[in-house]
Structure formats: C-alpha cells, structure tokens
Amino acid sequence: LQQRRGVRLSAPAAIQVTVRDALNQALDEELERDERVFLLGEEVAQYDGAYKISRGLWKKYGDKRVIDTPISEMGFTGIAVGAAMAGLRPVCEFMTFNFSMQAIDQVINSAAKTCYMSAGSIAVPVVFRGPNGASAGVAAQHSQCFAAWYGHCPGLKVVSPWSSEDAKGLLKASIRDDNPVVMLENELLYGVPFEMSEQAQSKDFVVPIGKAKIEREGTHVTLVSHSRPVGHCLEAAAVLAKEGVECEVINLRTIRPMDIEAVEASVIKTNHLVTVEGGWPQFGVGAEICARIMEGPAFNYLDAPAVRVTGADVPMPYAKILEDNCIPQVKDIIFAVKKTLNI
C-alpha cells in the first residue's frame, strides 16, 4: 500500500558481522535445528570457548549438547568419530589445528576411510574445526597451515573460509554433510567484521562445499587463494588497479573437493595465474592448483608460467620481523603479479 502511495521502502540492509559471531550463529542455528548435533572440545562449554566461538551455547543447550573435554585430542576426537558412526552429528573443536596432530590417526584412519571400507554402509558425519595457519607471535609449533595435509586425504572434505558469510555458510553446510569435514578457520580473522547480506542472515543459508567464489572480476591475471590471504589478494588487486592491472581474485573456500573449473575458466580469460597461500611451498595447495591447470584445458591459454606465493619453507620464527618475512604480504603478491605479466 505504501509503495502504491509512492513511499519508497528500503530493502533490509546488509550488516557487519565478525567471523567469530558468524560461527557462533551457525553453531546456534544448527544445534537448534537438529538435536543430533553437539559440540565438544577443550573449554567449549563453561568458558565459552578459547576464542569465544561457542559463547552462550552451553547456557542455552546444556551439558549434553556442549561438552567440555579433558586435554586429550586423541580421546575426544575418537569419541566424536564414534558418535558420528552411531548416528549423531558431532562438531569437534581443536583449540588449534596444530594440536590435531595428536588425533590425526582418528581423523584420517577412522573418520575419512570408514565409509569406503564399509562399502558405504557407515557414514561419519563429523566436523573437525578450529583455527589453522599462522597466528601472531606463537612460533613454530602453533603456526602451520594444514590445508595440504588434510586436503591430501580421500574421504575428507576440507573447507577454508575467509569472510563471515564463508564461515557461517560453510560451517552449516559441513554440519549437514554426511561426510567428515575439516574446517580450517583463521584466528586472526575471528575479530574481523565483514558485510553479511540479508540472505546470509537467514537460518537456511549455506555455502555449497566445493564451490569457489570470484571476489573481484578482472581481465589481466588470476589470483587464487583461501582463508586470510584472500584479503591480501584483494588489497594487492586494489593497488595494481591504480596501475592499470585488473586482477581476478578467486576465493577457493573449499580445498577438497577443489573447484578447479572456476580456476580454469578464469585462467582462460586472463591468461595468467598466481596462487597465494600461507602454507609451505612443497606439496602445497598452490602446487596442486598449478599441476591441475597444467594437466587441463586451461594450460594452452597461459601466456606465462604460473607463479606461487607461499609461506617461507622454514618453521615459523618467533621474532615478529622474521615472522612477517615468512608470511606472504601484499607486496609479495604485487611483485609476483608484475613478474608474471613482465612489467
């Protein structure tokens, strides 16, 4: 009626939501939606989580749905995998994925392979989630990226969100998936606010696993990344745009199964490829992308060799100046693009 009278009604605006709050929303909505879902891990209940991802959930859902565990990754990961085999949908939080090394036998040998070894008769719908990659000032044993480690293993799905929409949509999709999913978050993104659309605010919003997203359209070079380095790629693209170089930035979102078709389509358009990641170079995500492009239809469209921008091939130093030199920076991406384009 107001529209007929000429009153202009504004559409509901997008809002700013931090990655932490987006993850909290996803957990809250899925715990409410499906009584089989429960969260377990160190300090996830009464303390509201080491990074406050589970804030308020224990008070709302109680001891049976949000469970504090002893400091024993092998133990509580085994409990999560067994519960999934028995028909529940556990969300298993690692305080950091560096500590998942204590439980990698359960993730790889129990969760990932059981569906195959049972000829499809036993599903393992479990989500392993927590911070991954370098944080700040926590040195070598707490600063590894495990995307390549878990992406290597058939039977797992591996997702790696960047924005708040990524985080919420991928976590909800992972909880609803019938396969074991490893969700690699980034601690340095937890407090970062991103715009969240009206659609993403819906309880029905999910991000399909296995689909990349073009964050910025471009014509001269393709930048492919995941997690926090996506932001670095967008910053580099903004700088390069002032010099007349238009970068297409692809946010992978999913490491396994990888949306190589999206990368191929972009490379066919731009004729140049630069991959960016925080992990080590050898056998990394960028190495896999380069190999897949070389083996596929996009190879003949490349006008220059693909270039990888990665973390340094060393354990992470503690000193900040050395740490900064071990993690890809915006200047490193700009240098790689200019090298690829021979400018």
Catalytic, 295? Answer no
DSSP letter, residue 200 = G
Q: Give, as one character, the DSSP assignment of residue 111.
A: I
How far is it, in rounded angstroms, from Cα 152 to Cα 83? 25
- Alpha carbon 333 to chain centroid, angstroms: 20
Told to judge if 142 belongs to the known catalytic residues of this protein, a careful annotator would answer yes
Q: Which of 73, 215, 264, 323 is catalytic?
A: 73
Closest C-alpha to 218, from 249, 245, 248: 248
CA distance 234 to 216: 7
127: nearest Cα among 185, 57, 65, 179: 179
One-character DSSP codes across 215-264: EE--SSEEEEE-STHHHHHHHHHHHHHTTT--EEEEE--EEES--HHHHH
Of 43, 142, 235, 246, the catalytic one is 142
Return the sign of the alpha-carbon dihedral for residues 117, 122, 124, 125.
positive
Q: Which residue numbers are catalytic?
A: 73, 142
